[in-house]
């Protein structure tokens, strides 16, 4: 008797949540004053992979730090 192993797909990863806080105002450098994403990052968010989103969040944190919003 041959036993076949069942192929089980790993659970799907949940999408990385948007950093939007509903304070949508792009400054002169095209950076949102609420979430610190660029206009391009905001527009592409829905099509980004989770890895891309994590990279954007890292950039957002650095931008916020540079502006003295976090330390």
Give the tens place of pLDDT for each residue, 31-70.
Answer: 999 999 999 999 999 999 999 999 999 999 999 999 999 8
Res. 1 pLDDT band, cuts 50 70 90:
low
61's CB contacts (< 8 A; 6+ apart) are 36, 70
Q: What is the pTM of this model?
A: 0.80
The radius of gyration of the chain from alpha carbons, rounded to an integer in Å, stands at: 18
| Residue among 46, 49, 50, 24 nearest 37 (CA) | 24
Indicate if the pLDDT at residue 21 is higher than 90: yes
């Amino acid at each position: 008797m041959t036993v076949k192993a069942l192929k089980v797909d790993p659970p799907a990863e949940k999408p990385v949540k948007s950093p939007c806080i509903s304070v949508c105002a792009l400054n002169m450098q095209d950076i949102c004053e609420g979430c610190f994403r660029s206009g391009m990052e905001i527009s592409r968010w829905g099509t980004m992979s989770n890895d891309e989103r994590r990279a954007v969040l890292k950039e957002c944190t650095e931008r916020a730090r540079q502006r003295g919003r976090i330390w």
